[in-house]
Homo-oligomer: A and B are copies of this chain.
Amino acid sequence: MNESPRRIGFIGTGVMGAPMAGHLIDAGHELTVHTRTKSKAQDLLDRGAAWADSPAEAADGQDVVISIVGTPRDVERTHLGEQGTLSATKPPVVIVDMTTSRPYLAARIAEVAKAKGVGAVDAPVSGGDVGARDATLSIMIGGEDGPVRRVWPILEVMGRQLVHHGPPGAGQHAKMVNQILVATNIVGVCEGLLYAAKAGLDPEKVIESVASGAAGSWSVSNLGPRMIRRDFEPGFFVEHFIKDLEIALDESAQMGLVMPGLALARRLYEEVRAQGHGRKAIHVLLPVLERMSD
């Protein structure tokens, strides 16, 4: 927090990136932002951020460049593309990708970066839009010690729980574990609350009974009440979640891991998307399971 102000390029000012960038401005850092839809950066520009027309421009001569974009393809384009950060005239000292993306891509970016004398850190987050707004994110970090140490005070501005998991890609692997846990658990929370309703129980009382014991989880305590209110507004979109589950399944397959719970969750979420709920919150699985049971 006693970190001296840094020149930071920030790429991707969506539902996560915008509040995260805002915290960096509040902490006194000098921001240059780039994002696909300029209007989404307007609030940050009003608060003094400079605008860049491309990732390369956002990266030029910066101490640190942070990205939090959509898909692994977007990550690749942002850092390795023709107009990517690593093609900047004066490359940044460290690039940090906070998108949830493929571990191997994080490792590849780190390799290309290293060849240009640039440090690279993967630092995906957990905690959703609320965590981004409240700066309470859990940040899962991969990268070599030098660059990780360098960006640590900047990451601390955006998160509450920082863990360095290992070399480039390790942050992404840790995030995959996070998503495996979320995915398998949400299936059970939906099934449990469905059962409760069908058995004629008061689901709020059931949550009261189960939440503090061996059946307890963040999902049952936090998403359970929203399911009961039939509030399926995101938060975190089904379609982004499916992207994460696909990465986790691909990685698992490459490591020879059998993941029946994860595979089931993916199948169910493809059904959720097929029913037109891609832009809803992930607990919208509840009414989809409900209809399967009709």
Contact = CB atoms under 8 A, between A and B. Distances in A.
Interface string A77-95: 0000000000000000000
A interface SS class:
helix
Nearest to A172: B199
Contacts of A174: 196, 201, 205-206, 209-210
Interface in A186-236: 187-189, 191-196, 198-202, 205-206, 208-210, 212-220, 222
A260 interface: yes
Interface stretch (A10-18, A29-37, A45-53, A159-167): A159-167
A166 B140 CA distance: 44
A210 B258 contact: no
A183 B257 CA distance: 20
A255 interface: yes
A213 B160 CA distance: 11
A177 B165 contact: no
Specify how many copies of this chain sit in the oligomer.
Answer: 2
A185 B210 CA distance: 13
A170 B197 CA distance: 11
A214 B219 contact: yes
Interface string A253-277: 0011111111010001000000000
A272 B216 CA distance: 23
A292 interface: yes
Contacts of A191: 180, 184, 257, 259-262
Contact of A217 (B103, B138, B163, B217): B217
Contacts of A44: none
Interface of A: 103, 126-128, 131, 138, 140, 161, 163, 165-166, 170, 173-174, 176-185, 187-189, 191-196, 198-202, 205-206, 208-210, 212-220, 222, 248, 251-252, 255-262, 264, 268, 289, 292-294
